[in-house]
Structures are given as C-alpha cells and as structure tokens.
C-alpha cells in the first residue's frame, strides 16, 4: 500500500482537550492565506471519520478522556496523531491539577509532537514535514 497519496492529502480533525485556545488559533492561522496548508492538500474536516490526522491540543482534562479515545477510534486507519503545544505534550503550565488525565500520549498513541506555547504556524507546518518523513520512512521500512 502506497502512502504517497496519503501523505499529500492529509485531512485534519482538530480536537481541543482543554487547551487555552492559543494553539487552536495558530492551527486555524495555518489554514489562512499567509500560511495556507491547503497547498499541501491539508484540509480541516468536521468529522473524525473523514480525518487522517488528529491534531490534539490541551492537557486532556478528565471529562475529555473518553471522548479523545472515541474520536481516536472513529478515525479510520491509517491515521496520525499530532500533539500541538506543550500543554498537550507535557502539561505545560497545567502540570498539576485535580482534573487532569493527560498528557495526550497517556491516552492515545502520538506520532509527532509540536513543542511551543503556542508553536508558530511555521512550526506546525514543520511538524507536517516531520509527519511526511515519518510516513516515508515507514513506507521504506515496509518495502
């Protein structure tokens, strides 16, 4: 199975698990004319069923755990998970609380981390490049 087309047509579902919105607006910014990731075939979709990539932000509060898992399940294979922002990666400023279950990689497997608080839009694009490299390596590994 070739991942060639897959990697150049990544549809993204954005999932906020309790972030501060900072990362979320930068994710949106990535779609806008200045950065325009649609040129890479990336689209934001409204349903995880259509998604290839889950963009997760936020430190995962307890209420969100089942939802995060369900969305992960609803996303058809093959899929990638990218965590945007340090609070999703390691909790960031929210590292200690009575209502946290994160970080994200404690709940679902994560492929690419995008550190930053929030990362610049280019950093998010860079993470896409990293994802491509990962996919290409996986493909080489298979063949």
Rounded least distance, CB 23 to ligand SF4, Å: 3
Backbone angles phi, psi at 83, to 5 degrees: -105, 125
Three-class SS of residue 102?
coil
Site string for other proteins, 1-30 (x = CB under 8 A): xx-xxxxxx----xxxxxxxxxxxxx-xx-
Give the closest residue to 17 by CA, choosing from 99, 73, 78.
99
Euclidean distance between CA atoms 42 and 6, whole angstroms: 11
61 near ligand SF4, judged by CB under 6 A: no
Rounded least distance, CB 67 to ligand SF4, Å: 13
Give the closest residue to 134 by CA, choosing from 89, 79, 74, 90.
79
Q: Which of 57, 75, 80, 131 binds ligand SF4 (CB under 6 A)?
A: 57
Euclidean distance between CA atoms 14 and 42, whole angstroms: 12
44 near ligand SF4, judged by CB under 6 A: yes
Nearer to ligand SF4, 16 or 74 (CB): 16
* Binding region for ligand SF4 (CB under 6 A): 14, 16, 19-24, 28, 44, 57-58, 85-87, 92-93, 117-118
């Amino acid at each position: 199975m070739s991942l060639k087309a897959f990697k150049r047509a990544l549809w993204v579902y954005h999932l906020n698990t309790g972030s501060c919105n900072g990362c979320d607006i930068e994710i949106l910014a990535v779609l806008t004319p200045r950065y325009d990731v649609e040129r890479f075939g990336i689209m934001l979709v409204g349903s995880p069923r259509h998604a290839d990539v889950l963009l997760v932000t936020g430190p995962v509060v307890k209420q969100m755990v089942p939802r995060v898992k369900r969305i992960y399940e609803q996303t058809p294979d093959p899929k990638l998970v990218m965590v945007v922002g340090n609070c999703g990666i390691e909790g960031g400023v929210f590292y200690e609380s009575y209502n946290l279950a994160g970080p994200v990689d404690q709940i679902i497997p994560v492929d690419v981390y995008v550190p930053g608080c929030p990362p610049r839009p280019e950093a998010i694009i860079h993470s896409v490049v990293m994802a491509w490299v990962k996919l290409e390596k996986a493909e080489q590994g298979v063949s």
